[in-house]
Amino acid sequence: MTESARGPGSSTPFGMERDPSRVVAFSDAVIAIAVTLLVLEIRPPEDTRHLLHGLAALWPSYLAYGVTFMLIGQVWVNHHVMFDQILTADRVVLFLNTVLLMDIAFLPFAASVLARAFRDGHGERTAVVLHGVAFELAAVLFNVIWTYARRHRGLLVSTIDSAGVRAIGRRFRLALTWIAVGTLLGALLPALGVAVIAAFIPFYWLPIRGEITRARPR
């Protein structure tokens, strides 16, 4: 979309504007691969003579898989919430989204480290902090992208009002605090840190006021 097509009051913040549908499609693919890779860390027990015991001993892997999968699922949902309100993407948005995807691609490794640390009984604090920091970085990037978009309102759809913009911003800022608290607690009490981060899952699936507005057709 050119500047003249957008009207005299609009301007391109940085670089050529692009339809974000391709950004969303590429992001969906990266997220899909990330959640798929999570299950590869769960390996069947080698001793099938005591299979039930071996399966039960894999509980750290189940825990890391479940928590990480649901958190990445939240990333996916809120990525759509955000980009449903972004009309055009300039190079800053493209760059920040690329860094976000790089962080998401790292999450299966963080989940694997978390599972192994709890399974071996060593390094749990470091593992929880690594896992938490990876998600905290994703939260930071969500906030940076949304803050940039809201400051350049020409990037946003016209159907979202100021209240919707603020509602989405509040939800993204809450993630920063919640995950940071869980990460810090995990550095002291690993199980508590995981519990706090996991408690974030049901709350964050609640709808955001901003996503109730009519999204533009793709």
Question: What is the distance between the alpha carbons of residues 181 and 172, in angstroms, rounded to a whole number?
Answer: 15
Residue percentage of the chain with pLDDT more than 90: 65
Kindly calculate the radius of gyration of the chain based on its CA atoms and give it in whole angstroms.
20
pLDDT tens, 137-162?
999 999 999 999 999 888 999 888 88
Q: How confident is the model at residue 96 (pLDDT cuts 50, 70, 90)?
A: very high
The residue among 150, 140, 218, 141 whose CA lies nearest residue 13 is 150
- How far is Cα 216 from Cα 6, in angstroms, rounded to an integer? 15
In this model, does residue 51 exceed pLDDT 70? Answer: yes
Q: How confident is the model at residue 17 (pLDDT cuts 50, 70, 90)?
A: low
- Tens-place pLDDT, residues 182-213: 999 999 999 999 999 999 888 777 776 655 54
**Rounded to two decimals, what is the model's pTM?**
0.84
Q: Return the residue matching tokens 């939800």.
A: 171
Length of the chain as a residue count:
218
